[in-house]
Structures are given as structure tokens and as C-alpha cells.
Amino acid sequence: MTSPAREMQVEIGRLERRLLDKLQRRELVARNVNEEQDRRLTLGDRVADRFAAMMGSWRFIIIQSAILLIWVALNVTAFIEHWDPYPFILLNLALSFQAAYAAPIIMMSQNRQDARDRLRAEHDYEVNVKAEMEIEELQLKLDTLRQKQWEELLQLQREQLKLLQELCARPTNGRATSEAAEENVA
């Protein structure tokens, strides 16, 4: 038996190997995970998602509240024959049936949403790793260019120093005449 932590390590290992393969082949990592997930949905999955979306809406809550209010009012005031007198057993049964069927359908939808969230997180991780690697590659290129510039600047400075030394070592005409004049005076 494997532990959940070990299974997670194996899964992360698979994910990283797959990502590394994509990066080595220079494949795009970005993709639309929603389209990918929608292609996998069955008819039952779509029905469960719509059912959960409908049951989790204000429209449903308002309509159900109105129906419950009408049901109770009609049975309490007795404008019509009491088909479900005060403890409202029939209403309770109907709501129990609704809850019994709604809960598993909503859970199926939530499980699918969890799977979609995991797929998005995996995709985000892949994109982030690729972006990090691209940034590192760009940083290396910038470092190489910067180093090359420094070497070129250092070479230019050496050449300038050499030229300066040559200029300083060369006697100038004005200096030579003034030094000769000083020697004549002495």
C-alpha cells in the first residue's frame, strides 16, 4: 500500500518530467484548461452542473420560498381542502426527497469543479516553471552581454592608456624649444 504523500511525490514527479519534456522540445505550455475540461464532460456531468448552478441561485431560493409560503398558507387558512394539515408531513416528505436527490448531484458537480481546479493549478504551475526558466535564460543572456560590454570597455580603456602613455613619452615641439632655451641660458 502506498501512502498519499508517496502518491503525491509520484504525481509531482510525472508532472515535472512531462513539463521538462515540453520545455526541451520548446513546446508551448499555455493552453485553455476550460476547453480541455469541457471536452471531457458527459451529458450527466453537464446536467449535474446546470442543476447545481440552478439550485445555488437566488432565483431558486426565491421561487422555492414562494412555493413553501403558498403551500403553508393554503393549508393553514383552509381556502381549499386541507391536503397537508399542520405538521405538513407531505411538504416535509417532498423537501426530504428534494434534499436526497439534490445533495449527491451537487456533490458530483463540486467534485468535478475540484478536478477542474486541480487541472488549473497544475497548468499554472507549468506556466510558472516555464516563465521562471525563461527569465533565468534571459538573465544569463543579460549577464553575458554585460560581461562582454565590460570586457570591451576594459579593452578601450587599455587602448586609451596606451595612447596616453605614447603621447606623454613623445617630446612636443614647444617643450623641446623651451628646454633647449633653458640649457642655453645656463
- Is 60 exceeded by the pLDDT of residue 120? yes
The pLDDT of residue 90 is 93
Give the tens place of pLDDT for each residue, 38-47: 888 999 999 9
Mean pLDDT calculated for residue range 111-135: 88
The pLDDT of residue 184 is 56
Cα 35–Cα 37–Cα 38 angle in degrees, nearest 5? 65
Give the Cα separation of 107 and 123 in Å (integer): 24
Give the tens place of pLDDT for each residue, 125-177: 888 888 888 899 899 999 999 999 999 999 999 999 999 999 998 876 655 55
Kindly indicate the confidence band of residue 179, based on its pLDDT and cuts at 50, 70 and 90: low
The pLDDT of residue 12 is 65
Task: Count CB atoms within 10 A of the CB of residue 64.
Answer: 13
Give the tens place of pLDDT for each residue, 38-85: 888 999 999 999 999 999 899 999 999 999 999 888 888 877 777 888
Mean pLDDT calculated for residue range 82-97: 90
The pLDDT of residue 174 is 56
Among residues 22, 45, 4, which one has the least CA distance to residue 130?
22
The pLDDT of residue 176 is 52
DSSP string, 68-127: HHHHHHHHHH-SS--SS-TT-HHHHHHHHHHHHHHHHHHHHHHHHHHHHHHHHHHHHHHH
